[in-house]
Amino acid sequence: MRAVIQRVTEAAVVVEGSIVGAIKNGLLVLLGVEDADNAEDVEWLSGKIVGMRIFNDEEGIMNLSVKDTGGNILLISQFTLHASTRKGNRPSYSRASKGSVAIPLYEAMIKQLEKDLGYKIQTGIFGADMKVSLLNDGPVTITVDTKAKE
């Protein structure tokens, strides 16, 4: 699994003209799933996202997590995170999982994030044409890949 984690002051996702998910202070997480991913990756990545200390404490030092601040998470499925750009100018998405594999893992990630955070998160709609807006705070943007844990 790959995730792009962005600290935001606000973020929203629109599908067919309607807002389906929106947050104020928290994290916008773009999530890409590949066939080699499993429940262990979900658990590890969720813990990493919820525990990542990228919010400022009272001294202005990034020392607090989204859980510490009471912030929320907007999770968006993003198959293009597994794009291969090695050959030519048209990215290949062959490493990205098809829905039969990706949807159950995406849904498991929603449940795991909610369990680790202690409350419901916001989401997009898997496979939909989504319009995502955000106000990146910092900006702080971090990438995490479960296949590069070491």
Q: Which residues are tagged catalytic?
A: 80
Sign of the alpha-carbon dihedral angle for 121, 133, 76, 144: negative
Answer for the pair 11, 28: CB distance below 8 angstroms, yes or no.
yes
Alpha-carbon gap, residue 113 to 120, rounded angstroms:
8
- Show Cβ contacts of residue 72 under 8 Å, excluding neighbours closer than 6 positions: 23, 24, 25, 26, 27, 66, 119, 121, 122
Q: How far is CA 4 from the centre of its chain?
A: 6
